[in-house]
Amino acid sequence: MKTNNYIEKSENAILHTYNRYQIVLEKGEGVYLYDVDGKKYLDFAAGIAVNCLGYGHPTYTKALQEQAKKLTHISNLYYNTPMMEAGEKVKKASGMEKVFFTNSGAEAIEGALKAAKKYAFCRDGHAGHSVIAMNHSFHGRTVGALSVTGNAHYREAFEPLMGGVKFADFNDLDSVKAQLDPSVCAIITETVQGEGGIYPASQEFLEGLRQLCDEHDILLILDEIQCGMGRTGDYFAWQGYNVKPDIMTCAKALGGGVPVGAFVLGAKAAAHSLEPGDHGTTYGGNPLACAAVRAVLDIYEQEKIVEHVRELTPYLEKRLDELIQEYPCVKTRRGKGFMQGLVIDGRPVGEVVNRALENNLLVISAGTDVLRLVPPLIIEKQHIDEMIEKLKDSLN
């Protein structure tokens, strides 16, 4: 088998920071992936919610090929047209004011935190401000992003991290109020907690955060890295709540598979925070990545991807709810749109993930007991039915 040879070579060359599944993926088509031995998998993981258009989408592929022939990188010392056009499309989709393109979601979080701190510096004339983040959150692996990630397991080996971070409980507005003091410059939360176990924010919680930020002139940062870009049935999950942030972070599906992220500023943050010299990136906003963003948003509009998610969500939820009735180990379901979690009880969720892999289905976990389903946004009913049958075999 080719698989064992490739795995051995990889372990010899690549730093072992991931316990990878023992398959070597080679190519994809539609919502299916194929390994080097020719085995076919139904993909309900989408590269951790990245591959929104699946694999080999002809319009997307052509856009990348055409841009690669022209220009891939020039740095931010110069303008480039794909960045301008991608920025306009992100502005239109979000209804926000200014976009800064990054290389990853973690970098988007770093930029958002800097923008919030600079806003408070301009407001107060001094530094030393703090941030309220949420327990059980996940915002990334860099030092700043890790500092606002509400899971001690991720943080403890790398402390001391960025100071001035206080943690409250997600969906508990009183716990946020208890952390408020004049030093606070921002509140950061995922609109739907992902790694923490697929927990959507409540309407009351997000509205309450927005009110607190308005009353105290602090910035609301909503992390849409996983839940954004159509996954919940709106371009960005906060739009379904009608609660607009001052700063939004996005990545993952933004480039459809090409590494790219962004932090997006509302009018207030854009006018009174980062200035020339405050922030930068060599690769961010490069023509190739921005051609991917431009293509993804064009395809969303042309093929009505967001509407498709909204239309198909009730069927996905119905089929998942049937599993709860049939299998005692599946306790409950939570999520929004094509970001769904099944709570598994009585057996390790990792065992279910591994059984699914044996049954040619790719799914992932979240938290300690949640089976996470984040498929490409182009799935149809027959793919949902196929997933259910494979998941039943795995649960059996």
Q: Which of 117, 252, 336, 390 is catalytic?
A: 252
Could you give the maximum distance between any two Cα atoms of the chain, in Å? 64
* φ, ψ at 50 (rounded to 5°): -95, -50
Note if 252 is an active site residue.
yes
Q: Which of 44, 101, 138, 338 is catalytic?
A: 138
> Other CB atoms closer than 10 Å to residue 171's CB: what's the count?
18
Quick one: CA dihedral 142, 17, 103, 22, positive or negative? negative
- In sequence order, the 6+-apart residues with CB closer than 8 A to the CB of 257 are 47, 50, 51, 53, 292
- CA Rg value for the chain: 21
Q: Which of 35, 43, 223, 234 is catalytic?
A: 223
In a 13 Å sphere around the CA of 82, the CA atoms on its Cβ side amount to 28
Nearest to 165 by CA among 134, 142, 136: 134
Tell me which residue has tokens 């409980």: 169
Distance CA 266, CA 246 (A): 5
**How far from 387 is each of 173, 245, 356, CA to CA, in Å?**
37, 35, 9
DSSP 163-224: S-EEEE-TT-HHHHHTT--TTEEEEEEESEESTTT-EEPPHHHHHHHHHHHHHHT-EEEEE-
Distance CA 110, CA 386 (A): 40
Note if 223 is an active site residue.
yes
Catalytic residue annotation = 138, 223, 252
